[in-house]
Every structure is written in structure tokens, then in C-alpha cells.
Homo-oligomer: A and B are copies of this chain.
Amino acid sequence: MAHAQNKAADDLLDKEFRVLDHGFVRLIDYMGSDQAIAQSARVSYGEGTKKVSEDRALIRYLMRHRHTSPFEMVEFKFHVKLPIFVARQWIRHRSASVNEYSGRYSIMREEFYRPEPEDIRFQSEVNKQGRSEQEVPDEMRERFLGHLEASQRGQYEEYHRFVEEGLARELARINLPLSLYTEWYWKIDLHNLFHFLRLRLDSHAQKEIRIYAGLMADMVKTVCPIAYEAFEDYILNAHTFSALEMAVLAEHLRGLKIDNEALLKHGLSRREAEKFLARLRAITNTTQDDD
């Protein structure tokens, strides 16, 4: 294109990065860059601002204030191979385009997911939808892996036999397990990809999808390093406190003295620091009035 080249990003293109036992993520194409985000934001502010703000400050400002449309201007297209139970979580993100391998049209390949032994865990007591930290005894772990292997092989043999005998593929495949691998092309804009990453990098996401998200996060970081850093600082690693929690905290923050050194040390820009201190003052005062 007519734009600045990003050599590191272009080097990612078309390479298969392995995930799990048979999966991969491959960056097929992308459109845009940090520069393109800033450029499209500037159309809102008119010519004048072009000289004043530089890209990094502008991108961080956009992220901080949740001005999401400039991030929608960047696109990523991935080729992903993944187990069906992961695909079922992934597809819940509707603001993306998908082209999936069709089990009605084509013959499924004999590739199934089996977890690494150390990933086989007990049900978490705390997190009703997750696995616990606690490892499973060797015997149980081997039994589970043995069951997976035997039944995956058995299911596939039956599938393959019926397909060979001419049974409709759309029927033969209905008993294949959710651990079967599928693949798709998946295209999404950067704003929606950040949303996907925020949910799927989270410790509550199932580990298997988290690994895909982690790999894709690295790719985004290469294509748009400044936007990714802003995403980390203002979204991923930000903390939100409810009105109730703030009421509790406010009592402890009242009269708090924050020196400039601390603000500088942690990298707040001058303007950010001012707004932060103003917010703290507002929070503590508001609560004072309530009492």
C-alpha cells in the first residue's frame, strides 16, 4: 500500500504459529497501523491538530476516552485451526466475519485435541465454570487421556467407514466429538479484537482459548505496538470499582496526598495526572456530601 511499511508485521504473514496439539494461528492479512488510527481520528478534529499532537499521545487519549471508531479502522484476517469446543466459544463474538471448513461438504480430518497431562484438573470450587489449581492424580489423568484417545479413534473409524460406504457426510459427522479440530478464516477490526482479547485473555476464560488469544495478542502488538500498549494500560490492566466499592474506598482516599514524583514514576502524562487528581477530589468530596 501507499503507507509506511511495518517489516516485523509483514514477517508474521502467512506463517503458522502452533497452538495446542494440532492447532495454529496464521495472520493472513491486515489493514492499518498505529499511524492509520491516528490519521483517521484526526479527521474528527480538523487539520489544525495535525502538528500539535503526536501519534502516541493521540492514540492513548482515544483509548482512555473510549473513542472506539478509529480502532475500528484497522483490520486483521486470521486463519485458525482449533477444536470445535473452542470454536463454539469463539463464535459468540458476532462482530467478525467467518468462513469455516464444512463437514457437510468435505471430509473431516482425523485430528482431535487431547490436553497436556498437567492441564487435566479438578473442577474449581471457587469458579463454577473453571478448573481448579489442584492437579489430578496420575491414574485418573492417564485414564482420561486413554479414554479420549480410544474414543476419538473409535469415533473416527466409524465416521470414516460410513463415509466410505457412501452415507451422507452431513449425517456421518454428527457423532464426532467436540474435541475434533476444525478451521476457519476469521476477520475482525481492532476495536472488536481488543474486546475479544479482553474477554479471552481473562483468567476466567477456558485455558485452551486463552492460548489462542495470547498468540493473537502478540501479533496485534507487532502490528500496532502503541495501540496495544494503550489497550494494556487503559483496558486490560485497568481496574473498575463499582459505586458501592468507591464509597468504601473514598473514606480511605479522603485527604490523600499524591506527590508529582509518584505520578511521573508511573508514567502518567501531565494532563492525565491532572484529571486523575481532579477525579480523586471529586470522588472523596461526593462521598463526604453523602454522609
Contacts and interface: CB of A to CB of B under 8 A. Distances in A.
Interface of A: 1-3, 10, 13-14, 28-32, 36, 40-41, 43-46, 48, 64, 69-70, 72-73, 75, 77, 79, 83-85, 88, 91-92, 94-95, 97-107, 113, 115, 119-124, 128-132, 136, 140, 144, 147-148, 151-152, 154-155, 158, 162-163, 165-171, 173-179, 183-185, 187, 189, 206, 232-234, 236-249, 251-253, 256, 258, 262-263, 266-268, 272, 276, 279, 283
Given A70-B99, A177-B178, A238-B240, 17 more contacts: A1-B1, A1-B13, A2-B13, A29-B36, A31-B77, A43-B79, A43-B99, A73-B97, A105-B129, A121-B168, A129-B169, A148-B174, A233-B242, A239-B241, A240-B240, A244-B266, A248-B276
Given A13-B1, A262-B251, A44 B238 contact: no
Nearest to A155: B151
Q: Chain A binding site: helix, strand, loop or mixed by DSSP? A: mixed
A244 B238 CA distance: 8
Report, nearest first, the 6 A-B pairs whose CB atoms are least far apart.
A131-B168, A46-B106, A237-B243, A72-B97, A31-B31, A104-B129
Given A129-B170, A239-B240, A10 B14 contact: no
